Amino acid sequence: MTPRATNLDEPAEHLAPVPSAPLERLLRAGDPLPDAATVASETAGAIARTRRALADAAGGDATCVAAHSVYAAPWGPVNLAVSAAGVVAVSLREPEAAFVADVERRLHGRVVPLADPAVPTAWRALMDRTMAELDEYFAGRRDSFDLPVDLAGISDWDRAVLGGAARLRFGEVTSYGRLARMIGRPGAARAVGGALGRNPVPIVIPCHRILAGDGSLGGYGGGWTGTREEMLGIKRSLLAGEGVPIPAAALVG
């Protein structure tokens, strides 16, 4: 998987959609349920009830909205959560209890261990698939993810930024400012960085491919647990696995 050469002067239009049809459709059309972060509390409650009904229809506990497990990444444990709609959370450096609480707040429901008898078979299959694709990515055998993603609770702004980040292909990097221009918001580099820091599914939506304007690492992780040095070490290792040197010689967009 040799990354395609890029050039600073290459127009943003060359960026092709991520090969993953489920992810591309979600980012283009939006989550099938309304964004609970921007609606009235009674509507958020209705969303929670709908999600519980989906879980019940799938053969699970109607009060359970997601299941979580732990993946062994090269640098250590990564928390994962899946829902009826897709992969809902990936957390690189966060204690398990805090991770579960965060997902429950976002989805307005109960998140249980994958081994819980209430978890539908389809959710277990999605978790297995997610871990298998991560294994392939870290082994150098996969350059994109073919996974459905659940962006419930994510604002329209964050969704727009994550959609731009998702267009970056394996081995391509850009800057916060260039990504802001790519999504039609020139000058919004700082706000773009904030949205990337809130990315609920890092690696799957590759926020590690956005760098500082001079090609240096910039930041990584937002409010995730872990020291700045630890988080930047993870970002550097992800980019190294895609053949991107730091500082990067070329940025797209």
Q: In this predicted structure, what is the pLDDT of residue 190?
A: 97
Assign 28 a pLDDT band (cuts: 50, 70, 90): very low
Looking up tokens 């897709």, which residue turns up?
A: 86
CATH assignment, 26-138:
3.30.160.70
Q: Give the model's pLDDT for residue 34.
A: 34
Scanning the chain, the segments in alpha helix (DSSP H) are: 21-29, 41-57, 96-107, 121-138, 156-166, 176-182, 189-197, 228-241
State residue 49's pLDDT score: 53
Range(s) within the chain of domains with CATH label 3.30.160.70: 26-138
- Candidates 78, 196, 205, 207; catalytic one: 207
pLDDT for position 221: 85
Q: How far apart are CA 82 and CA 116, in angstroms?
A: 13
The residue that leads in pLDDT, 52 or 100, is 100
Please tell me which residue, 127 or 5, carries the higher pLDDT value.
Answer: 127
Per-residue pLDDT reduced to its tens digit, 101-134: 999 999 999 999 999 999 999 999 999 999 999 9
Whether 64 sits among the annotated catalytic residues: the reply is no
Determine the Cα–Cα distance for residues 81 and 89; give it in Å rounded to an integer. Answer: 5
- Which of 13, 20, 12 shows the shortest CA–CA distance to 166? 20
CATH topology of domain 12-25+155-241: Arc Repressor Mutant, subunit A (1.10.10)
Sequence ranges of the chain with CATH classification 1.10.10.10:
12-25+155-241
With 0-12 / 13-18 / 19 or more C-beta atoms within 10 angstroms meaning exposed / middle / buried, residue 18 is buried
Higher per-residue pLDDT: 224 or 252: 252
Q: What is the pLDDT of residue 229?
A: 92
Q: Report the residue count for the chain.
A: 253
